[in-house]
Structure 1
């Protein structure tokens, strides 16, 4: 790697470029992506120009952009050298973080399975999940080093997805004996009794996002078998009453729709050897007017309590379609004014 200066014959100014050399042309092709789409993504987001010359990439732009681009490209290449895949989301994550790898040594309390080798990766049966923003990375660290953790922020920021991934990782590595996923079935209310089917069939539509996340990390046959053995439970929040949840990874999703009493009931289920995660979006409360959100009450009462961590996300952490972040920002501005 080095820096060279060229003279543009059409302009009387100096162009500074940073050339990077990659020894394996096959991996360089993967790094560039089909029709150089990976390079185009990096160029667009960093304000760079990247020119390919044989087994070299030349980065042209200001000093900071070239430095960031060089680090990102080198890290992505090392990822390919290690035999790991490279998806568009990985490119976006590398750009957001500035560097794909977390060079800090694992801290006390970190699950070493997730932090070995200096980078953060959550291994499940079907895929490896990696945080793509600084807030997501801090969230994963928090999930592994606290017995009770809150993830609060808008939709699409990975709050529930990462929580379920960590739960699956803890289960397959023997740190917990079961996984329990639940949400308040607010929309069903008292109408559940009028819906056809068994109790499970009535509430399943409200649990579907949790099934979707779980099926991303475990083969469907294994999910079915573990459900049958009661090692995986997906149920409405109300089903947690009267239980002590020991040696379990427990996730409460859409917690903004839990009442104050429901939230207290849920939090006091925490048993020995368990990890509990509460996720929610304060802007999407579906409770009746005048009913206090249990998530907001818990945030007010429990902030500062030792052993309980609060993690916050913003539209900048949205990892869905880029328009989602813009939609969230537009609504935030409107409600802030109104």
Structure 2
């Protein structure tokens, strides 16, 4: 229940809003262990927050009170839907509400993609939800963004979901075996052993989503295939969910080869980060080029994730932004003097 009160003792700019939480268990979850969630809300919101019993009093400017009321309402709805409130969930909820996004936190953070052993994979940001929705709605989706935005992980969760729903008959995971400062020929072992380290992140994600004991059987049957991009040449892939990871390390020719493997009843997701290209100098990235070639083509969608969609440690997003700023400054200093923007100065 919500009640807004104006007091003569208050300045006209400040109002008081009262929220009543009927369920005492929900109130305990809302405040957090040792009132940790409450302290975070007090620091994050402009309005003052006072809790007594089952009543929350919000005092501040009307607009800030309205925001605080929305935050509490969304958090209570998350609790009702079984979501465990953490500081990360609270920060993301406030971020969504203050950024003016159309999607509500209770919609984004409770969209279940896949569940296994009590653990549920869900999008954690608006950008991730839009990416997941695009995979549902389009045949070819490009997930482009920095490290830690869940591009590959969410795509693989959607692939496993589609396999379990019998929407496809197999999953194919591939990535180019391009060395980042190393050369394949100098690595020990057979060709497969040399390539395996490049595919290991895909295996790790699979183990999070499928019973590890069943993975060898599924791979032997051909239901799941993990292979270097070079193994895709000459094939037509029907009734499959195909994921190309680290696509920034494809050449334009490799990207064309991969995309033309698409068969009937299949879906393709291409993921990559155009700021981390490991190709030899002078070689164009197929992921960069394909954005110009296919932009606007029907049933092809480009999802562009940003540092705001990073779901690793908070510092990862800040590191991504710091590098982007540094790159922009480097490009500006390397630009010919006559092409650099003029700075405003005093006229003599």
Tell me the TM-score range normalised by the shorter chain. 0.7 to 0.9
Q: Is the 8 A contact 1:92 1:132 kept in 2?
A: no
Q: Is the 8 A contact 1:150 1:278 kept in 2?
A: yes
How much has 1:14 moved relative to structure 2?
A: 7.3
Match in the other structure for 1:206: 198
Gapped runs of 5+ residues in structure 2? Answer: 98-103, 331-348
Match in the other structure for 1:105: none
- What secondary structure is seen at the aligned counterpart in 1 of 2:76? helix
Q: Is the 8 A contact 1:180 1:232 kept in 2?
A: yes
Q: Is the 8 A contact 2:77 2:106 kept in 1?
A: no
Match in the other structure for 1:233: 225
Match in the other structure for 2:101: none
- What secondary structure is seen at the aligned counterpart in 2 of 1:101? helix
* Segment drifting more, 229-238 vs 218-227: 218-227
Identify if the C-alpha distance between structure 1 residues 20 and 217 changes in structure 2 by more than 3 Å, giving closer, same or farther. farther
Q: Is the 8 A contact 1:6 1:14 kept in 2?
A: no
Match in the other structure for 1:100: 105
Match in the other structure for 2:75: 76
* Segment drifting more, 133-142 vs 52-61: 52-61
1:129 and 1:89 mapped to 2: Cα distance? 15
Match in the other structure for 1:4: 5
Q: Does 1:155 align with 2:156?
A: no
How much has 1:188 moved relative to structure 2?
A: 7.5
Match in the other structure for 1:28: 27
RMSD: 2.6
2:191 and 2:7 mapped to 1: Cα distance? 72
How much has 1:12 moved relative to structure 2?
A: 7.3
Give the TM-score, by structure 2 length: 0.83
- What secondary structure is seen at the aligned counterpart in 2 of 1:3? strand
Match of 1:124 among 107, 115, 132: 115
Find the structure with the greater CA-based Rg: 2
Gapped runs of 5+ residues in structure 1? Answer: 103-114
Give the TM-score, by structure 1 length: 0.85
2:260 and 2:181 mapped to 1: Cα distance? 23
Moved over 4 A (4+): 5-8, 11-15, 188-191
* Segment drifting more, 294-303 vs 86-95: 86-95
Q: Is the 8 A contact 1:252 1:278 kept in 2?
A: yes
How much has 1:333 moved relative to structure 2?
A: 1.4
1:188 and 1:314 mapped to 2: Cα distance? 23
Identify if the C-alpha distance between structure 1 residues 16 and 251 changes in structure 2 by more than 3 Å, giving closer, same or farther. same
1:41 and 1:272 mapped to 2: Cα distance? 50
